[in-house]
């Protein structure tokens, strides 16, 4: 099977990620079945996807007729049996719970046609372990979209121990067909690549904060007005190339030993969680988010991200 032959896709789970993932496939011309436990959840999911399409239309990244056609090609369903019938690719976006994912992959395996590829949007659970619940581990891969999936270009395609090269290539090619920026994670390691990079930075940022070296705002500015700009464009390795590897080598000699290397969850994070300060969703974390402010912050984030997306699409020639 080639990526261009994929026309029937199922997305299982219509929470934060599922609707956006379904939209990516639908806009690439696939018939999509979107599954969740009840009609209310599915109605909310379709509304969220319509809102995401509206943001793409306003950013001139999508036309209204294409958005309408894409929504029409998604069939919201509560029946897993109907969703799996004749499907060629299934993407699971269920809660991050290994036992649940294994139970569901066992069912997908029984219900989907032989030869269908089963992918998981897990943020970092083992693809090898998930695949063990099936009789087709060669056809199981990680397909980790980033949130919000209608904007973020990255998809991490992860090979489990038994995933075949052709399955991984097919998933990578399908991502390209959707206009995404896939990367291949050759070995099934916790956190794949994106979250490992993200948590390495977060650990140091929390360490600097708890040591009182700088305020939360100044630590964030150190990234957004400094290395974050270059990383956004070049990534850490090309940035090092441009700085000179000899320079990075010299600095590594004294700096790496100074960096935080704790392997337990940061105490400062545990303190905030204990106090119920979970971030934007509870109105406060390292910053305050009054209700009216939260919508503003998210809209501003999405506007800036959509601007980046336009630049990336222009770089690729559309
Ligand atoms: N939220 C994020 O930012 C994000 C980003 C990337 C990857 N992920 C990963 O994607 C997956 C989904 O995350 P999410 O945030 O969308 O979760 P979520 O909790 O928002 O949504 C999960 C959905 O699955 C549904 N569900 C539960 N059991 C079901 C069943 N048996 N049959 C059908 N539907 C069922 C729930 O009703 C819910 O709507 C997780 O593995 C998560 O780690 C999440």
Q: Would you state the structure tokens that stand for residue 222, as one six-digit string?
A: 């150190």
Closest to 181 (Cα-Cα) out of 149, 204, 205? 149
pLDDT, tens digit, 9 for 90 and up, residues 145-188: 999 999 999 999 999 999 999 999 999 999 999 999 999 999 99
pLDDT, position 314: 77
pLDDT, tens digit, 9 for 90 and up, residues 246-285: 999 999 999 999 999 999 999 999 999 999 999 988 999 9
pLDDT score of 41 more than 90: yes
> Does the beta carbon of 290 sit less than 6 angstroms from any atom of ligand 1?
no
> Does the beta carbon of 86 sit less than 6 angstroms from any atom of ligand 1?
no
Count of CB atoms situated within 10 Å of the CB of 47: 11
Active site residue 195: yes
Tell me which of 195, 204, 207, 260 is the catalytic residue. 195
pLDDT score of 318 more than 50: no
- Closest residue by Cα to atom 28, ligand 1, is 94
β-strands 154-159, 181-185 pairing: parallel
**Looking at ligand 1, which atom is closest to the CA of residue 78?**
33
Cα of 143 vs centre of ligand 1, distance in Å, is 14
User: Model pTM?
Assistant: 0.94
CA dihedral over 256, 259, 262, 263, signed as positive or negative: negative
pLDDT, tens digit, 9 for 90 and up, residues 207-226: 999 999 999 999 999 999 99
> Does the beta carbon of 15 sit less than 6 angstroms from any atom of ligand 1?
yes
Cα of 51 vs centre of ligand 1, distance in Å, is 19
Active site residue 144: yes
- Closest residue by Cα to atom 11, ligand 1, is 93
């Amino acid at each position: 099977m080639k990526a261009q032959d994929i026309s029937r896709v199922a997305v299982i789970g219509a929470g934060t990620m599922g609707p956006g993932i379904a939209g990516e496939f639908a806009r690439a011309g696939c018939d999509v079945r979107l599954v969740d436990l009840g009609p209310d959840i599915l109605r909310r999911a379709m509304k969220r996807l319509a809102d995401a399409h509206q943001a793409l239309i306003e950013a001139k990244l999508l036309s209204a007729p294409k958005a309408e056609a894409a929504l029409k090609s998604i069939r919201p369903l509560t029946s897993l049996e109907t969703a799996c019938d004749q499907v060629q690719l299934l993407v699971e976006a269920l809660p991050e719970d290994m036992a649940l994912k294994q139970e569901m992959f066992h069912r997908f395996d029984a219900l989907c046609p032989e030869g269908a590829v089963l992918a998981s949007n897990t943020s970092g659970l083992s693809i090898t372990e998930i695949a063990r619940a099936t009789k087709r581990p060669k056809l199981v891969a990680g397909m980790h979209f980033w949130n919000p999936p209608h904007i973020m270009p990255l998809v991490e395609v992860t090979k489990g121990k038994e995933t075949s090269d052709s399955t991984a290539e097919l998933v990578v090619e399908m991502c390209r067909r959707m206009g995404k920026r896939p990367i291949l994670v050759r070995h099934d390691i916790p956190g794949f690549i994106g979250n490992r990079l993200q948590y390495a930075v977060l650990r140091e940022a929390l360490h600097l904060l708890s040591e009182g070296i700088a305020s939360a705002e100044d630590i964030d500015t150190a990234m957004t007005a400094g290395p974050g700009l270059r990383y956004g464009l070049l990534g850490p390795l090309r940035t090092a190339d441009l700085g000179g590897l000899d320079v990075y080598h010299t600095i590594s000699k004294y700096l790496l030993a100074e960096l935080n290397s704790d392997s337990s969850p940061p105490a400062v994070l545990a303190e905030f969680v204990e106090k119920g300060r979970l971030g934007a969703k509870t109105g406060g974390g390292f910053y305050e988010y009054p209700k009216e402010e939260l919508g503003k912050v998210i809209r501003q984030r999405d506007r800036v991200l959509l601007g980046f997306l336009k630049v990336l699409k222009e770089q690729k020639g559309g």
